Structure 1
Amino acid sequence: MILYIKLAWRNVWRSKKRTWITASSIAFSVFFACLMQSSQLGSYDNMIDNSARFFTGHLGIHQVDFWEDQIIDNSFDQQELIQLDLSNSDILIGVPRLSSFALASYGDKTKGAALFGVSLPLEAEFSYLKRKLIEGDYNNKGGVLMAEGLAANLNLRVGDTLVLMGQGYHGVNAAGKYPVSGILKFPIPTLNQGAIYLPLETLQEFLSAPNMISSYSILLKDSQDTELMRSHMETILKDKELGLMTWQEMLPDLVSSIELDYYGGWVILIILYVVIGFGIFGTFLMMIKERTYELGILNAIGMNKYRIQAMVAIEIFLLIFLGVLMGLLMATPIILYFWSNPILLSGDAALAMEKFGYEPIIPFALNFKIFYNQGISIFVIALFLAIYPMLAIKQLKIIKALNE
């Protein structure tokens, strides 16, 4: 076997041009496949992170009926959570939220608005709400933060007094006057036209719902740990009449769009594999055709076809290994760079992403599975294509080969 390896190694480098052509075609296929999947998975992680931060968290705790009927009466006492130990090294942060609807009025204008009661310091860290502030004071506990579009529709400015009227907890009347302390600008039109943020205690008082919250949103350090944390949280909440949902359950449309894009990405990868496969097959074909006379001589002097196949198989294995290794070495520093420095979008592309509430970037994922999966995929394809040289050697005719 050692002799075959030595012969194969010498044969690989006997024709350096052919070797570099074959290895390069394999290397570039691994390189492009790794980059493509890294950007694809990075984009998914970014979408999940943005949606989890701004809307639901990776995990959400609420009344069992709340998600089906999101009304103030389906809120729960946050003291139920204070009694529990929700600390875990995988949890980045958790925030209580209270939501409702009311009529917002200023002067002779009235608009419907979504009210969100939040802990302003925690929300600044959880959903980066403070970054949305374009005017006024974020930390003014006595005032409200209004979406830019809603403020414009009501002709409101910072310092004006907003009147809120609605229905509170268990049907009580809710009414109050609050100064506008700040203006927020959201990329999502529906939020920008109708969102009002208040300190949690202020909204609880307005709705006559002391200590009540609609949900407790949990943000994890890694979205991949969602199911693991769900099992952990269910154990903690087993004696409570509270529901626990993952971001996949709360955001089914996001899951569907990711799955659709993922399968679309695989279609593109398959097309790439087919194109590269023809290139690899061409180099294998060239390898056999150029050496038909040589292989015929080896067979004629007593080297049986199985040994010739073994030698050529080792050559092909070395070529594939060299190509895959080159591709991984090429892809690793590029992915590392873009993982640390995502591609910033501008112009219409950036506006389109911001419209859906996502950062205008193309992030890359750094995951060992990317390199492993693509390396193995190309390796298997190349090994499959190596069947042809083996069959060609098996059908080798000495007389015909010597006349080549």
Structure 2
Amino acid sequence: MWRNRSRTAITTSAVFFAILLAVVTSSFQVGVFDNLIKNVVGFYNGYVQVHKMGFWDEQILDNVFENKNSVQNKILSNENIESIAPRLESFALVATDSLTKGCLVVGIAPARENEITKLKSKIISGSYLKDDDPDILISEGLADRMRVKLYDTIVLLGQGYHGAMATGKYRIKGMLKFGSPELNKQSLYLNLPEAQSMFGAQNKLTSYVLNLKSTKTMDETVVSLRNLLDDDYEVMTWEEMMPDVSQHIKTDNASMYIIFFLLYILVCFGIFGTLLMMMVERKYELGMLVAIGMKKIKLSTLLILESLFTVITGCLAGILVSLPVVYYLKWHPIRFTGDFAKTYQEFGFEPIFPASTDSSIFIQQGLIVLILGLVLSLYPVLKVFRLNPIESLKK
């Protein structure tokens, strides 16, 4: 009896460690993938953007379109569109008494922009814009370069719509910090009406940034919008606008599948090794049972039920133990440093390795390991049907 308990404990432990590894690894994969996508959306671009046809290839103020309620209503008629943020984007020269630098100027509707890119959460000092504010938000790197502080005044000089002179004098209301070094050293935000007035582009926009209810149907949503809108507009996903970032995410995802493949091989060998050892140790016992008249079909059923019990016990125990581990790694993710962190920051991602607590991960990995355990439990069944009682009883 002690031997039976020992064998069961060994098999259960193998499944337990298998499911623990599978759940934690899968949580990391989903967590990292979700984090990358979230950073892309919160980074700047959103999931989908609508421009005037040709704007993305030649991003100048002459390629703007009129802000029409009818167009917005068409876009919002798609069930997967959650919100729209209008923008007017251009470049200008920011100047103080003694310094000048080129910067990205973005006119936004503050509340609607925050719904999509969570711009308000990037405020490190000062306060966020209100709809009637004549002030600006400036990125931390640009402020350092221009040697300006909160509530200082800067001047913007540039070329407006159809070659008009664009000038403006604004007070700094808040400072932003982005994960992307490029955005952090050149970004400046102001209210959309202020930007339209400065650039002489009244009621003109360069883009609609769209937020989706479900990203799983993003491609179908884009196709629907392209059919819905006129040929004067182009609809682009973040993958089309940022192909280098998309390729980086796909490469990371593919590498995780390779890790999973190796992990499942280790899981199979771990479970099979314990089953193999169990059959070798129980050879005499099984031979005795068959010799005294127990049918092999009943003995096989007994072994399958035993394997089923140990595998389910191991899966449940592994999931229960992995829950606090995964939750801890979600709220306290592994943070990269050094060159690896710089690489992530160059893509605009926060250099962390988080986990995900999505319930489907635990269910999916539990089912996979359960199926692997049950498939491997066919080995004892096969050995029973090929068992020779006389040879088994020989020591």
Aligned partner of 1:43: which letter?
V
Q: Which residue of 2 aligns with 1:295?
A: 286
Q: Which residue of 2 aligns with 1:171?
A: 163
2: distance between equivalents of 1:152 and 1:372?
49
**Partner of 1:217 in structure 2?**
209
Q: 2:50 aligns with which of 57, 61, 78?
A: 61
Between 132-141 and 36-45, the greater mean CA deviation after superposition: 132-141
User: Which residue matches 1:4?
Assistant: none
Instruction: Count the aligned residue pairs.
Output: 390
Counterpart of 1:116 in structure 2 is 106
Aligned with 2:91 (options 76, 96, 101): 101
CA contact (8 A) 1:342 1:361 kept: no
Residues 338, 363 of structure 1: 8 Å contact kept = no
Any idea what SS the aligned residue of 1:116 has? Answer: strand
- Which residue is 2:362 aligned to? 371
Kept in 1, the 8 Å contact 2:88–2:107? The answer is yes
Q: CA deviation at 1:86?
A: 1.0
TM-score (norm 2): 0.85
Runs of 4+ in 1 over 6 A off after TM superposition: none
Equivalence map 1:38-53=2 (5 Å): 38-53=27-42
Quote the offset at 1:356 in angstroms. Answer: 5.1
Q: Answer with 131-140 or 189-198: which moved more.
A: 131-140
Query: How far apart are 1:301 and its partner, in Å?
Result: 3.6
Q: Distance in 2 between matches of 1:193 and 1:309?
A: 69
1:208 and 1:23 mapped to 2: Cα distance? 72
> Is residue 146–residue 183 contact of structure 1 (8 Å, CA) maintained in 2?
yes
Q: State whether residues 87 and 209 of structure 2, in contact with CA within 8 Å, keep that contact through their aligned partners in structure 1.
A: yes
- Who is 1:187 aligned against? 179
Q: 1:344 to 1:391 in 2, by over 3 A?
A: closer
Q: Does 1:127 align with 2:117?
A: yes
Q: Which of residues 125, 129, 139 in structure 2 aligns to 1:147?
A: 139
Q: Which runs of 5 or more residues in structure 1 are unaligned?
A: 1-10
| Secondary structure in structure 2 of the residue aligned to 1:74 | coil
What is the rounded CA distance, in whole Å, between the counterparts of 2:386 and 2:394 in structure 1?
A: 15
The equivalent of 1:22 in structure 2 is: 11
Displacement of 1:277: 2.5
**AA of the residue aligned to 2:182:** T
Using the TM superposition, name which of 253-262 and 203-212 deviates more: 253-262
| 1:227-256 per-position Cα deviation (integer Å, ceiling 9, x unaligned) | 454355445x34463222222322323332
Cα contact 1:188–1:354 (8 A) shared by 2:
yes
1:86 match = 76
Matched AA of 1:46: N
Amino acid at match of 2:157: M
Whole-Å separation in 1 of the counterparts to 2:206 and 2:172: 24
Q: In structure 2, how many angstroms separate the alpha carbons of the residues matched to 1:223 and 1:308?
A: 51
- Deviation (angstroms), 1:200: 1.0
CA contact (8 A) 2:64 2:206 kept: yes
Sequence identity (%): 37
Assess if the C-alpha contact under 8 Å between 1:343 and 1:361 holds in 2. Answer: no
**Which of 246, 260, 275 matches 1:269?**
260
- 2-structure distance, mates of 1:262, 1:87: 33
Give the equivalent residue in structure 2 for 1:3.
Answer: none
CA deviation after TM superposition for structure 1 residue 332, in Å? 4.4
Over aligned residue pairs, what C-alpha RMSD do you find? 3.2
> For the structure 1 residues 288 and 83, does the alpha-carbon distance in structure 2 shift closer, same or farther, using more than 3 Å as the test?
closer
Relative to structure 1, is the Cα distance of residues 179 and 205 closer, same or farther in structure 2, using a 3 angstrom cutoff?
Answer: same
Task: Output the CA distance in 2 between the equivalents of 1:160 and 1:24.
Answer: 64
Which string of whole-angstrom CA distances, capped at 9 and with x for unpartnered residues, describes residues 284-339 of structure 1? 1222122212222333344454554344333323332332233334334654x459
Letter of the aligned partner of 2:308 in structure 1?
F
Aligned-partner Cα distance in 1 for 2:124–2:45: 24
TM-score (norm 1): 0.83
